[in-house]
């Protein structure tokens, strides 16, 4: 390495919302690997809790303390209301191949969302799916009536609260760090997450009924501080884009079969876990409540949100062809 290249080398800071070995962590380290294999730059990765909660790492990214952040639209919903579209139940299919095709080719994701994120000082580099959402509850749930009186933890996301109100539950926003204890003490009676996160966080230990409602996928977004990105050389911008694409392709391979393996691990670890897979008729009772969440989304986001929803639906139709 020459003196000149040393002078150009930087250390970039990247924070995400998950634990070691979880999906966002794997993505971050694939990104880091590509950057470090193809440049003199280094990437320092920070996991959940090392720099605070989700709101903290987003604020640090917007302020330029972090160069990169990985955050779910569940937490960026208050910052970018349109990002809440991922929480309209039964909008996204749960078929793996269709979901992946949608994220690769969607005009809404690849063209419309970068503009929305740029308005908040963020360069959207990649959106990707992590896994089908599964609800854990203190008792089995097979109908909206079973949610009556149950407090279900939600992220700080107004539309997700609308979803669980539509489902018949009492939505209860809580930061992630408080969820396990709140389930353990019956302050809340349930929560939703992809199955690998239910395993990683040990949530099945205190919320043993796993309800497969097929109402959506957990989605996340990797982005950069806009000023930082704009100041990069053309070569480094291409490097970052290539690293993001590399990490995306790697993570799609990683999540293929991950949910099944995580469920096997959970069932091997606990005899108390009860898996409930809703029938088509049971799903229909939840699905018929989705339109009121769509209406709430449009009320929150106006004409722009309506256009985005139409583009989403068109992209999904194309992905399913």
Phi-psi group of 294: left, alpha or beta (phi > 0 → left; psi -120 to 50 → alpha; rest → beta)? alpha
Q: Can you count the helices (H) and strands (E) in the chain?
A: 15, 10
Task: Yes or no: say if 98 and 256 are a contact pair by the CB < 8 Å rule.
Answer: no
Average pLDDT over residues 199-228: 96
Q: What is the pLDDT of residue 6?
A: 39
Mean pLDDT for the chain? 93
pLDDT band per the 50, 70, 90 thresholds, residue 257: very high
Q: Is 33 exposed, middle or buried (0-12, 13-18, 19+ CB in 10 A)?
A: middle
Long-range Cβ contacts of 282-288 (<8 Å, 24+ apart): 282/142, 282/143, 283/213, 283/214, 285/143, 285/144, 286/89, 286/90, 286/144, 286/167, 286/213, 286/215, 287/89, 287/90, 287/215
Average pLDDT over residues 101-106: 95
Average pLDDT over residues 265-277: 97
- Model pTM greater than 0.95? no
Average pLDDT over residues 2-26: 80
Q: What is the pLDDT of residue 75?
A: 77
Task: Yes or no: say if 16 and 240 are a contact pair by the CB < 8 Å rule.
Answer: no
Check the CA dihedral 33-38-42-43 and report its sign: negative
pLDDT band per the 50, 70, 90 thresholds, residue 285: very high
Whole-number Å distance between alpha carbons of 83 and 104: 17
Task: Yes or no: say if 161 and 37 are a contact pair by the CB < 8 Å rule.
Answer: no
DSSP string computed for 168-233: TSEEEE--GGGHHHHHHTTSS-EEEEEHHHHHHTTGGGT--EEEE----EEEEEEEEEHHHHHHS-
Q: What is the pLDDT of residue 5?
A: 39
Task: Yes or no: say if 154 and 146 are a contact pair by the CB < 8 Å rule.
Answer: no
Q: Write down all domains in the chain, each with its CATH number in brackets.
A: 3-319 (3.40.190.170)
Flag whether pLDDT at 246 surpasses 80: yes
| Residues with Cβ within 8 Å of residue 182, at least 6 apart in sequence | 153, 174, 188
Kindly state the DSSP code that residue 138 receives in the 8-state scheme: S
Q: What is the pLDDT of residue 56?
A: 92
The distance of Cα 183 from the centroid of its chain, to the nearest Å, equals 21
Whole-number Å distance between alpha carbons of 248 and 58: 21
Whole-number Å distance between alpha carbons of 185 and 271: 21
Percent of the chain with pLDDT over 70: 98
Q: What is the pLDDT of residue 175?
A: 87
Of residues 253, 302, 312, 314, the one with CA closest to residue 109: 312
Could you give the C-alpha distances from 146 to 151, 170, 285, in angstroms and in order? Answer: 12, 12, 12
Flag whether pLDDT at 2 surpasses 50: no
Residues 166-203 have pLDDT tens digits of 999 999 999 888 999 999 999 999 999 999 999 999 99
Bridge partners, 220 (sequence order):
128
Flag whether pLDDT at 74 surpasses 90: no
Kindly state the DSSP code that residue 111 receives in the 8-state scheme: I
Task: Yes or no: say if 216 and 90 are a contact pair by the CB < 8 Å rule.
Answer: yes
Q: Is 180 exposed, middle or buried (0-12, 13-18, 19+ CB in 10 A)?
A: middle
Flag whether pLDDT at 3 surpasses 50: no
Flag whether pLDDT at 7 surpasses 70: no
pLDDT band per the 50, 70, 90 thresholds, residue 157: confident
Q: What is the pLDDT of residue 1?
A: 41
């Amino acid at each position: 390495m020459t003196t000149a290249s040393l002078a150009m080398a930087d250390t970039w800071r990247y924070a995400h919302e998950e634990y070691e070995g979880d999906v966002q962590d794997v993505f971050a380290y694939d990104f880091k690997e590509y950057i470090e294999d193809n440049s003199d730059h280094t990437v320092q990765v920070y996991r959940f809790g090392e720099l605070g909660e989700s709101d903290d790492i987003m604020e640090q990214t917007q302020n330029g303390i972090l160069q990169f952040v990985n955050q779910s639209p569940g937490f960026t919903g208050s910052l970018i209301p349109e990002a809440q579209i991922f929480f309209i139940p039964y909008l996204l299919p749960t078929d793996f191949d269709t979901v992946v095709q949608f994220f690769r080719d969607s005009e809404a994701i690849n063209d419309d969302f970068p503009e929305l994120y740029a308005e908040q000082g963020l360069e959207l580099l990649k959106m990707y799916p992590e896994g089908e959402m599964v609800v854990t509850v203190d008792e089995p749930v097979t109908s909206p009536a079973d949610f009556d009186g149950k407090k279900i933890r939600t992220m700080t996301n107004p539309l997700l609260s609308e979803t669980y109100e539509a489902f018949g539950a009492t939505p209860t926003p809580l930061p992630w760090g408080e969820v396990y204890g709140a389930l353990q003490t019956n302050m809340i009676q349930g929560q939703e997450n992809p199955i690998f996160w239910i395993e990683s966080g040990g949530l099945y230990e205190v919320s043993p009924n796993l309800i497969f409602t097929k109402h959506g996928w957990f989605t996340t977004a990797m982005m950069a501080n806009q000023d930082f990105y704009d100041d990069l050389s053309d070569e480094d911008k291409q490097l970052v884009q290539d690293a993001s694409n590399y990490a995306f392709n790697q993570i799609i391979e990683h999540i293929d079969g991950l949910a099944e393996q995580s469920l096997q691990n959970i069932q091997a670890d606990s005899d108390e876990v009860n898996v409930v897979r809703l029938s088509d008729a049971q799903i229909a009772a939840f699905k018929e409540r989705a339109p009121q969440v769509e209406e709430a989304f449009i009320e929150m986001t106006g004409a722009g949100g309506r256009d985005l929803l139409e583009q989403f639906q068109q992209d999904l139709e194309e992905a399913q062809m």
